[in-house]
A and B are shown apart, each in its own frame.
Chain A
Amino acid sequence: MSEPSSFLRISGLRKSYGSREALRGINLDLQRGEFLCLFGPNGAGKSTLLKIVATLLRPSAGQVKVQDYDLEEHPEQYRAQLGMVSHQSFVYQDLSVLENLEFYATLYGVEQPREKALELLEEVKLADRYDMLAANLSRGMQQRLTIARALVNDPALLLLDEPYTGLDEHAASVLRDQLQILHSRKRTIVMVTHNLRRGMESATRLGILVRGELVYLQQKADVDPTTFEHLYFRHLEAQ
């Protein structure tokens, strides 16, 4: 039987800032429905990698494909499949919760933007706050709104850049539950984080990025958590 084709394929990806190499030839294949968590110290290139996949940064060399759509050749089809959650909320403080979602849904050409927005607000348990200005939401609620915003186009690939930053325990567990629901719906997820515990509880695949190189990549089922933790800290110390 032939191997299933990759949903996300990154090959030979490099990024340089002058003489400094932020990414040194990253190769990665993810199947549909996988949840990859990438760990790494500050400056390892995690956010750079995510920004390139999100089309926010141009690579110096290499290729990124989502479902056979190349980032350079078919940017519109490529971007239509992306959703991103970052430590920044990506929401307009002076618009209400509903207005924010409706605006983004409209930009993505969703046929019934208001209905879609209301449905997502139900999903992230913000329906009763629909008319509140985003500025008046707590950090945890803003993060839920951010997740809803990232889902307006029903993305097949969800990118998460340090999504737990600034969240209290309750908000973080709400986010974890939300991610598990999304994962159960066969969405492919790539998350970068410092938070070992949070990352490991959700992911199906674990990776470690150090100085722009992917030094470790394994299925979570094949990894002993304590061994992984030791390995990670050894890489941190060697940095």
Chain B
Amino acid sequence: MKSLRQIRFLCGKDLRIELRKKESLVSMAFFGVLILVMLNIANGVGKQIDAEAGAGILWVAILFSSVLGLGRVFAREKENGCVAALLISPVSSGEIFVAKALVNFSLMLLAELVLVPIFFVLFGARLSGDPLALLPILVLVNFGFSTTGTLVSAISAGTRRNEVLLPILLFPLLLPLMTLAVKATALALAAKPLADLRGQLEPMAAFCVVFAAAGYLLFPFVLRED
């Protein structure tokens, strides 16, 4: 109970700052839309795309825009040494990890609420799939991305080249998850039933569990100096 309370306060603080400043959310959504528009122009406006290409386009936009928000959430803790104040307090490193991962998950979800409809407006004319069929894939990718990303952003936030280091460290780790996500999305965009996606969704869920556990266990070592 106490842990849940602490996680709620930590999340509440981050979301309050984010809703006040809107810096992560606006930059994530704007950058994602920009990528979609550029790819739409590069493909030829109004031209037909198949489900595989559409899946790739959607995840490129989500992945690159999400990295912007991810770096910011932890960098805020490093400003003025706030992370040290948290470590001295009775909050455990695990509670900080869960709270940060939840904030990253929420920011991704909010950005996707903008990006997915715009993707369907720009590319969806020939795609037969239902946008709602993407929901389980989005949830799993957000989960894997936010847990892995929270750990990696804690590592990179202490460096001078945070913005460069974060995607360089994160993207290779996410490669298996993203490969499965693109395949599952292609099937969903081609209006395949949910049962056909099980081959992708199950390993994606396994990936999420492994990376969430690894992130939770490794986080204290990343936060505290040795």
Cβ of A76 < 8 Å from any Cβ of B? yes
Q: Please give, as numbers and ranges, the residues of chain A lying within 8 Å of B82 by CB-CB distance.
A: 90-92
Stretch at the interface among B12-20, B56-64, B143-151: B12-20
Q: Please give, as numbers and ranges, the residues of chain A lying within 8 Å of B91 by CB-CB distance.
A: 107
Q: Please give, as numbers and ranges, the residues of chain A lying within 8 Å of B84 by CB-CB distance.
A: 54, 56, 84, 86, 88, 90
B 79-111 to A, binary, CB cutoff 8 A, 1 in contact else 0: 111101111111100000000000000000000
Cβ of A79 < 8 Å from any Cβ of B? yes
Give the A-B contact count at a CB cut-off of 8 A. 74
Q: Considering the complex, give the chain A residue whose CB is closest to the CB of B91.
A: A107
Complex contact B13–A56 (CB within 8 A): no
Would you call the interface of chain B mostly helix, strand, loop, or mixed? helix
Q: Please give, as numbers and ranges, the residues of chain B lying within 8 Å of A99 by CB-CB distance.
A: 16
Complex contact B80–A93 (CB within 8 A): yes
Q: Please give, as numbers and ranges, the residues of chain A lying within 8 Å of B9 by CB-CB distance.
A: 103, 106-107
Q: Please give, as numbers and ranges, the residues of chain B lying within 8 Å of A86 by CB-CB distance.
A: 81, 84
Complex contact B13–A103 (CB within 8 A): yes
Complex contact B90–A88 (CB within 8 A): no
Cβ of A235 < 8 Å from any Cβ of B? no
Tell me, rounded to whole Å, the shortest Cβ–Cβ distance linking A140 to chain B: 15
Tell me, rounded to whole Å, the shortest Cβ–Cβ distance linking B21 to chain A: 6
Complex contact A88–B17 (CB within 8 A): no
Q: Considering the complex, give the chain A residue whose CB is closest to the CB of B85.
A: A90
Residue in A57, A89, A106, A108 whose beta carbon sits within 8 Å of that of B80 in the complex? A89
Complex contact A104–B224 (CB within 8 A): no
Complex contact A93–B13 (CB within 8 A): no
Cβ of B198 < 8 Å from any Cβ of A? no
Q: Please give, as numbers and ranges, the residues of chain A lying within 8 Å of B89 by CB-CB distance.
A: 79, 104, 107-108, 153
Docked pose: A75 CA to B211 CA in angstroms: 27
Complex contact A94–B17 (CB within 8 A): yes
Docked pose: A149 CA to B81 CA in angstroms: 13
B 210-226 to A, binary, CB cutoff 8 A, 1 in contact else 0: 00000000000000111
How many residues on B have C-beta within 8 angstroms of the other chain's C-beta atoms? 25
Tell me, rounded to whole Å, the shortest Cβ–Cβ distance linking B130 to chain A: 39
Docked pose: A84 CA to B10 CA in angstroms: 20
Docked pose: A151 CA to B91 CA in angstroms: 16
Q: Please give, as numbers and ranges, the residues of chain B lying within 8 Å of A54 by CB-CB distance.
A: 84, 88
Cβ of A55 < 8 Å from any Cβ of B? yes
Tell me, rounded to whole Å, the shortest Cβ–Cβ distance linking A93 to chain B: 6
Docked pose: A58 CA to B84 CA in angstroms: 14
Q: Please give, as numbers and ranges, the residues of chain A lying within 8 Å of B226 by CB-CB distance.
A: 57-58
Cβ of A215 < 8 Å from any Cβ of B? no
Q: Considering the complex, give the chain B residue whose CB is closest to the CB of A152.
A: B89
Q: Considering the complex, give the chain B residue whose CB is closest to the CB of A113.
A: B9
Q: Considering the complex, give the chain B residue whose CB is closest to the CB of A91.
A: B80
Docked pose: A91 CA to B79 CA in angstroms: 9
Residue in A57, A92, A103 whose beta carbon sits within 8 Å of that of B76 in the complex? A92
Residue in A51, A76, A91 whose beta carbon sits within 8 Å of that of B90 in the complex? A76
Complex contact A56–B225 (CB within 8 A): yes
Cβ of B162 < 8 Å from any Cβ of A? no
Q: Considering the complex, give the chain A residue whose CB is closest to the CB of B95.
A: A107
Complex contact B17–A55 (CB within 8 A): no
Q: Considering the complex, give the chain B residue whose CB is closest to the CB of A83.
A: B88
Q: Considering the complex, give the chain A residue whose CB is closest to the CB of B23.
A: A94
Complex contact A89–B90 (CB within 8 A): no
Complex contact A56–B90 (CB within 8 A): no
Extra contacts besides A56-B84, A94-B17, A149-B85 (11): CB < 8 Å: A55-B88, A76-B90, A84-B84, A86-B81, A88-B84, A93-B79, A94-B76, A95-B16, A103-B13, A107-B89, A108-B89
Question: Which 5 A-B pairs give the minimum distances between C-beta atoms?
Answer: A88-B81, A90-B85, A94-B17, A89-B80, A57-B225
14 contacts between A and B (CB under 8 A): A57-B224, A58-B225, A88-B81, A90-B80, A90-B85, A92-B13, A92-B79, A92-B82, A95-B17, A103-B13, A104-B85, A106-B9, A107-B90, A109-B90
Residue numbers of B with Cβ under 8 A of A are: 2, 6, 9-10, 13, 16-17, 20-21, 76, 79-82, 84-91, 224-226
